[in-house]
Amino acid sequence: MISSVVLEEMDQSKFKLRFLDPTLQVDHEGLMVVYVDDSGTMINNFPAGHGIEAMESVAQKWEKLLFSTGGALAPGKCFFYLVEWDWDPQGRAAI
C-alpha cells in the first residue's frame, strides 16, 4: 500500500519521460520503472541546459519519499546517464 502512495506522489513530478512516435499515433508518458526493490527514473522533458537540475530534483524527491516511509537509497545502485542530441543543419541527430 505504501508503495502505491509513494509512486502516485512521484507521478506528480513535472519532469517525465515522453515517447511520441513519428506518426503521432502513439504518445506515452511515464516516470519510473519499478520492480520489487529496484527502480529507475527516466526524464526527457526538461528545459534545454537544465538536465542535471531536473534529474537532481526527481532523485531528491524519490529519496525524501523513501526516507519518509522508512526506506533509503542504495548508493551503490545510484547512477545517471545524461544523453543529449545534437542536430545538424540537415536535421540529422547525433548523440
Domain boundaries, the chain: 2-94
Q: Note the pLDDT of residue 95.
A: 83
The pTM of the full predicted model, rounded to 2 decimals, is 0.75
Q: What is the pLDDT of residues 52-82, one digit of tens each?
A: 899 999 999 999 999 999 989 999 999 888 8
| Long-range contacts of residues 10-15, Cβ cutoff 8 Å, at least 24 apart | 10/41, 10/58, 10/61, 10/62, 10/65, 13/43, 13/57, 13/58, 13/61, 15/43, 15/45, 15/46, 15/54, 15/57, 15/58
